[in-house]
Copies of this chain bind each other. A is one copy, B any other.
Amino acid sequence: MNSPIETPAATRQSERLGEQIEERIVTGVYPPGTRLDEQELADMFGVSRTPVREALIQLASVGLIEIRPRRGATVPEVGADRVCEMFEVMAELEAMCGRLAARRITPGEQCALQEAHRACEAARDANTPDVYYQLNEVFHQRIYEASHNSFLVEQASALHRRLRPYRRLQLRVRNRMATSFNEHQAIVDAILKGDSDLAAAQLRAHVTVQGERFADLVATLRDFKAGS
C-alpha cells in the first residue's frame, strides 16, 4: 500500500532542492567548508532565492549545514571526533532497535529480515561491494522496522543516512564484507531466537566497529598528511 519511496505530491520546490543539495553535500560535491551562496544556487537550479533559502533552513535544522546570521550558509567541518560521537549514538540506537526487534518481530518481518540477509549473502558471494552496501541498508532498515517504534525508526534512519558517507569510506576495507556478513548472521540469529540482550549487544558491536574503522582511517590519513 505504502510504496517504500514516495514523492507523490511533492509540489514544494524547496523539498526537492533540499534533497539535491543534501545529495551534493554527502557525496562530497560540496566538501566541508564550502560556502553556499543563495543566488548562486538559485541560478544553478533555475529558481529564485526564496525556495533556496527554505531548503537551506531545512538542511540547517537537521544539522547538515550551518547558517550563521548575516554570514550565510556553509557546509560545516565535521571534525572526525564528531563523526565518532555520531557513530557512538548510532550504535546505541541500533542496539535499541535490535533489542526491541528481538521481542516484537512478527513472522512476516522475520521472513523479510531473512530475505534481506540472504540478499546480502549473495552480494558477498558475488564480491560486489556496491551491491552489498545497498542491501546492507535494507537489512538494517528491516531491523529498525521490526522494533515497532515508528519514532525510533525515523531517528535511526535519519542518523543512518547522515552517516552514510563515512560508512561508504570503509566499503573496500579488506574482508570488510565477509566480516560484516558474519556479524549480520549473529544478529539475525539473536533476533530470531528472541534474545534481546544478545541482539542489542551484537548490533552495538557491529556499529561500533564501523566507528572504529572510521577512526582508524582518519588516524591513518593524519599520519599520512603529517609524514608528507
Residues of A within 8 A of B (CB): 9-12, 14-15, 50, 53-54, 57-58, 60-63, 69-70, 82, 85-86, 88-89, 92-93, 96, 100, 149-152, 154-155
Contact = CB atoms under 8 A, between A and B. Distances in A.
Contacts of A151: 82, 85-86, 88-89
A10 B69 contact: yes
A85 B11 contact: no
Nearest to A10: B69
Contacts of A149: 85, 88-89
Nearest to A154: B63
B11 A69 contact: yes
27 contacts: A9-B69, A9-B70, A11-B69, A12-B69, A14-B57, A50-B50, A54-B54, A54-B57, A57-B58, A57-B61, A58-B60, A58-B61, A63-B154, A82-B150, A82-B151, A85-B149, A85-B150, A85-B151, A85-B152, A86-B151, A88-B152, A89-B149, A89-B151, A89-B152, A89-B155, A92-B92, A92-B93
A69 B54 CA distance: 14
A92 B85 contact: no
Contacts of A10: 69
Contacts of A152: 85, 88-89
A71 to B, nearest CB: 9
Nearest to A70: B11
